[in-house]
Structure 1
């Protein structure tokens, strides 16, 4: 498998086949009834076999990606979008990878179709096949997503209540998101004087985007595609359209609206803080009006704003606020301060969000058009690491913006390393289901694979700057 195209396709096929064993699926689905993989998924040794193949397939994809990156940085022109399509195709019909969120999307769409308000009740009010694979943690919680994916899910649920078909319908939204990213990133790169081929390799062909986006069918990818497109539209002078698209991105997930930072910078590239603030207010108002209008037109409303704390139920180690809060809570509990220990995590999370909002405000008023991409990337990264919850795929939020922000060798290496680690280690998210020995065994396998791939990073060079061209 000397060709990275073939290597990536083989890796993706292996991942898709392994998902038939490792992924959580409804007990009534066709996946659970398959003769060989269905038997393997019933036992711990069988799941370990599937998990081993899963890590191997992800390793092949990551290896192919690094190989392509070296050739792109060396100046070779490769069919990157065709590679993206070929590496993604085997995952289109596979069960969701690494996460059960797609089953929650399906159930929330069914809630809309059945006349329930998904911002008031959770999937637990439903019964039957539609909730068989929903994570018990989210069974009684309202939906923290915007009105757009819920309305879309409701429309599809009017046609069928098959959870697998509904999951595939939401995967189509992820495919649309990647198409939008593939359209926007080269245009942003050209405007920011970064080689479009390099940016396309770093973002669009990234196995983290392919596996967490299409494989896991997260709606974050649609949010990201809309936000990237909004920035690209603003650079062509259509900032009004861009602000509307930013509002549509926020109607998927709220952080997508932060792209108004870049839109405001485009509207007033040489202005002082007063005019920049005015531009920010105008772009923000258009985006908010778009968001509210979508909620009203779809009939879903804006009740999701009250459910934004739902993801915070997961104490993710990727959030700095969570780590500090849990450490403070543990120390206070050890000292016997039980009341303070119970409040410590919430207080630290609040401080983290205030710090993130303060940084966003500073970036909004101080970032020039030349650093607009970096400002949006840093703002989204701040929301991830300082917010109440952070999952590994949340780091995709800042990827397109940092990749076109004239990254040098250090930033390129960091982005590549994070992408490799979150690709290879993704199966540890949910596949092991609490089994201690398999967790240790698979962690060792993941570390060995990741270290082998990370050893190739020293050959990566900075992104080559290119002349400014029209987006």
Structure 2
């Protein structure tokens, strides 16, 4: 690996370390934090704006390293990028939850299932106790919007870790890491099948700062959903439609949007439509029945729409019209936007260069015109886009950077001092990047760089997909 690559890896690692240190003091901390009185942590928490500024210095360095890495992809092997991912993700593995408090809802909902309470009818307030105390007020009385497979997983975590919040959080991080690992393992094979440079697919789909911040540090259940969906697509690419259908059905029973990937299985295996349809029905019904839970999650999917964070175009427009005195425009505008999103999704599926790119673009349309948008939602679309598009849209790259800076590490709404600290930290990080421009690629490396790069994919793929991918 050349000097520029090593510098980018080191720069991103420094950013991750800064983010991890800030998480000890300004992460999404539980009320009963056993580390609160540890000497170093106690001092870091004495003045919260300091660790918040530290987090944003780290975010600027991490995003800068990611952007600079793009120009060196031609000189790297996929294995080099995986090592970089491990280097950047390592500091974030043992820190408290960051950028979101959702993991505490997962623990509370798992405890509800464990105690026999219907989390599709009641919110965490019905459970009470310290699990419910860590759940933000906005979610205290809302039913769980997640599928039964995830709630059973959450219940298994609580059954294993008991009332130990720290161990429960670490268990959910292991689950999230398993989802990320599935993406890393399966993305190269999908990309190689459609002639997409494997290095570029890994760079955008796995090394994306949003993956590190919201799937690793934030440990959202979207990690497992995306991982299973990617594994299902990979199985379909390998002409195992039944296995792909089961994996994607499992992903949909974690979060419903993954079900759109079933269309990809149909397109990739056009002669097996009947078998795919039967397998889908059997998988969904079998997993639902095996969970022993009700189908209340279908109606509860509207729960996230109670959030208004400024990222949803339809919700922002509805709020703007409401401010001017228009009666009840919110639901109308949201409905119109959702219909438009699905129409655009259908158009994208038909016009995209391949079914994987179509899935990514279709999910992008549904997300961007949906009633609620969180930064990690875009990863539903970005991962398949990474494997299906030969050129990553500039808007998606810069959107990843912008969304990486959108949320405070506390996972809570901002306040003036925190916003000032975030701006100060970002500017400090950008100034450092300005003072340390990217190292030039050595002329010897440019002269000797081959026109093609061998795609490093799992051994099972090499029998049926091209071994060389033009970059």
Q: TM-score, normalised by structure 1?
A: 0.85
CA displacement at 1:6 relative to structure 2? 2.9
State how many pairs are aligned: 442
- Residue 263 of structure 2 aligns to a residue in which SS? helix
Taking CA–CA contacts closer than 8 Å with sequence separation of 6 or more, which of the two structures ends up with the larger relative contact order?
A: 2
Which residue number corresponds to residue 98 of structure 2? 97
Give the one of 389, 413, 416 matched to 2:372: 389
Question: Would you say the 8 A contact 2:242–2:275 is kept in 1?
Answer: no
Which residue number corresponds to residue 35 of structure 1? 39
After TM superposition, the structure 1 = structure 2 runs for residues 400-439 of structure 1, keeping only pairs within 5 Å, are: 400-408=383-391, 411-427=392-408, 430=411, 433-439=413-419
Is 1:398–2:381 an aligned residue pair? Answer: yes
After TM superposition, the structure 1 = structure 2 runs for residues 243-254 of structure 1, keeping only pairs within 5 Å, are: 243-254=245-256
Give the one of 223, 226, 229 matched to 2:228: 226
After TM superposition, the structure 1 = structure 2 runs for residues 116-155 of structure 1, keeping only pairs within 5 Å, are: 116-155=117-156
Partner Cα distance (1:318, 1:284) in 2: 36
Give the one of 371, 377, 383 matched to 2:354: 371
User: Structure 1 stretch 282-291 or stretch 91-100: which is displaced more?
Assistant: 282-291
Q: Which runs of 5+ in 2 are unaligned?
A: 441-450, 456-461, 466-471
Deviations 1:90-148 (A, max 9, x none): 22221111110011111111111111111111111123321232111101111001112
- Residue 193 of structure 1 aligns to a residue in which SS? coil
User: Structure 1 stretch 18-27 or stretch 442-451: which is displaced more?
Assistant: 442-451
Cα–Cα, structure 1 residues 146 and 242, in superposed 2: closer, same or farther, change >3 Å?
same
Is 1:308–2:301 an aligned residue pair? Answer: yes
Which residue number corresponds to residue 109 of structure 2? 108
- Residue 60 of structure 1 aligns to a residue in which SS? helix
Q: Which runs of 5+ in 1 are unaligned?
A: 270-277
Partner Cα distance (1:260, 1:35) in 2: 52
CA displacement at 1:57 relative to structure 2? 1.8
Give the one of 317, 329, 344 matched to 1:344: 329
Partner Cα distance (1:192, 1:110) in 2: 43
Deviations 1:193-251 (A, max 9, x none): 01112211222122220121110000111111111111111111111211111101101
- Residue 134 of structure 1 aligns to a residue in which SS? coil
After TM superposition, the structure 1 = structure 2 runs for residues 193-232 of structure 1, keeping only pairs within 5 Å, are: 193-232=195-234
After TM superposition, the structure 1 = structure 2 runs for residues 353-368 of structure 1, keeping only pairs within 5 Å, are: 353-363=338-348, 366=350
Cα–Cα, structure 1 residues 448 and 286, in superposed 2: closer, same or farther, change >3 Å?
farther
Partner Cα distance (2:146, 2:215) in 1: 16
CA displacement at 1:434 relative to structure 2? 4.0
Question: Would you say the 8 A contact 2:99–2:407 is kept in 1?
Answer: yes
User: Structure 1 stretch 422-431 or stretch 104-113: which is displaced more?
Assistant: 422-431
Question: Would you say the 8 A contact 1:247–1:289 is kept in 2?
Answer: no
After TM superposition, the structure 1 = structure 2 runs for residues 274-293 of structure 1, keeping only pairs within 5 Å, are: 279=273, 283=276, 286-293=279-286
CA displacement at 1:416 relative to structure 2? 2.2
Deviations 1:380-414 (A, max 9, x none): 11221111111111111111211223333xx3433
Partner Cα distance (1:285, 1:324) in 2: 42
RMSD, aligned CA: 2.9
Cα–Cα, structure 1 residues 453 and 7, in superposed 2: closer, same or farther, change >3 Å?
closer
Partner Cα distance (1:178, 1:232) in 2: 14
Q: TM-score, normalised by structure 2?
A: 0.85
Cα–Cα, structure 1 residues 77 and 236, in superposed 2: closer, same or farther, change >3 Å?
closer
Partner Cα distance (1:404, 1:53) in 2: 34
Give the one of 264, 267, 270 matched to 1:265: 267
Is 1:83–2:84 an aligned residue pair? Answer: yes
Partner Cα distance (1:225, 1:198) in 2: 18
Cα–Cα, structure 1 residues 383 and 449, in superposed 2: closer, same or farther, change >3 Å?
farther
Is 1:68–2:48 an aligned residue pair? Answer: no
CA displacement at 1:467 relative to structure 2? 9.6
Which residue number corresponds to residue 298 of structure 1? 291
Question: Would you say the 8 A contact 1:428–1:443 is kept in 2?
Answer: no
CA displacement at 1:13 relative to structure 2? 2.2
- Residue 49 of structure 1 aligns to a residue in which SS? helix
Partner Cα distance (1:249, 1:422) in 2: 24
Partner Cα distance (1:196, 1:289) in 2: 34
Deviations 1:264-283 (A, max 9, x none): 211229xxxxxxxx94x864
Cα–Cα, structure 1 residues 351 and 144, in superposed 2: closer, same or farther, change >3 Å?
same
Partner Cα distance (1:456, 1:282) in 2: 55
Partner Cα distance (2:108, 2:268) in 1: 40
Is 1:57–2:51 an aligned residue pair? Answer: no
Is 1:443–2:423 an aligned residue pair? Answer: yes
CA displacement at 1:165 relative to structure 2? 1.6
Which residue number corresponds to residue 459 of structure 2? none
